[in-house]
Amino acid sequence: DSGVTQTPKHLITATGQRVTLRCSPRSGDLSVYWYQQSLDQGLQFLIQYYNGEERAKGNILERFSAQQFPDLHSELNLSSLELGDSALYFCASSVALRSRNYGYTFGSGTRLTVV
Amino acid sequence: AQTVTQSQPEMSVQEAETVTLSCTYDTSESDYYLFWYKQPPSRQMILVIRQEAYKQQNATENRFSVNFQKAAKSFSLKISDSQLGDAAMYFCAYEGTSGSRLTFGEGTQLTVNP
């Protein structure tokens, strides 16, 4: 157990639907990152939150949104789902805003399948 | 934009032997970090080793070591005395000055043969 908890582990849904992925960071970590791992795009950074505020944005679609709550857990909302959104979605956490000095801890991911 | 390239989609090694995984990157920054992550079948992303660009000395973690060639923008991972548990997908990753995201390579699938 890495200390980063992602739920659910698996999710199967239909095209056009909306889902919410949840991440609880490791205790004491203020930064939360979301990554998407797909067969055709590889591992891509989506978005970072630090202590409740959005701090960096990557290749995140407009249909996707995220937020970090006061208890520091984060949710990634995916709407109007398409087949191409099927992927493994990772959450990672770190203690600081600039995390490279401290490292990241990854969760075990949520496998999303859109049918 | 920074890019990370892993030119070996698959590699295999005999148990107890040594294998080297290649990684090259492109950046105009001088201050950055490089990482190797391991992703076993469990899907968990596990940090293997980290290198700070301003450090000349190559990082080492037990059986894992890197060959960091800053001028050539090369960052290879050497696994010595390979074990069956080393079988996994290995990702090279870059983090630049902003410190707010990792850029990953395509990954190398490592098979360890008994």
Which tens digits make up the pLDDT trace of B10-39?
999 999 999 999 999 999 988 899 999 999
**Is B6's pLDDT higher than 90?**
yes
* Chain A partners within 8 Å of B105 (Cβ): 42
The token duo for B62 is 């037990």
Handedness of CA A29, A31, A32, A34 (dihedral sign): negative
Q: What's the number of CA atoms in the CB half-sphere (13 Å) around residue B113?
A: 5
Please report the pLDDT score of residue A42 as a whole number: 87
Q: Cβ contacts of residue A110 below 8 Å, gap of 6+?
A: A6, A7, A8, A9, A10, A11, A21, A88, A89
Place A98 in a pLDDT band, splitting at 50, 70 and 90.
Answer: low
Please report the pLDDT score of residue B12 as a whole number: 97
Please report the pLDDT score of residue B72 as a whole number: 95
**Is A59's pLDDT higher than 70?**
yes
The partner residue sitting opposite A109, judged by closest CB among B43, B95, B105, is B43
The more confident residue out of A59 and B90 is: B90
**Is B104's pLDDT higher than 90?**
yes
Residue B28 DSSP class: S
Please report the pLDDT score of residue A80 as a whole number: 97
Average pLDDT over residues A65-94: 96
Average pLDDT over residues A70-75: 97
Please report the pLDDT score of residue A100 as a whole number: 61
The token duo for B53 is 């660009």
Please report the pLDDT score of residue B101 as a whole number: 86
Min Cα distance B42 → chain A (Å) is 8
CA distance readout (Å), B82 to B13, B51, B64: 7, 21, 10
Q: Is A12 on the interface with B (CB under 8 A)?
A: no
The pairing of strands B108-113 and B10-14 is parallel
**Is B100's pLDDT higher than 90?**
no
Contact A103 B100 (CB under 8 A): no
Q: Cβ contacts of residue B63 below 8 Å, gap of 6+?
A: B79, B80, B81, B82, B83
**Is A41's pLDDT higher than 90?**
no
Place B73 in a pLDDT band, splitting at 50, 70 and 90.
Answer: very high
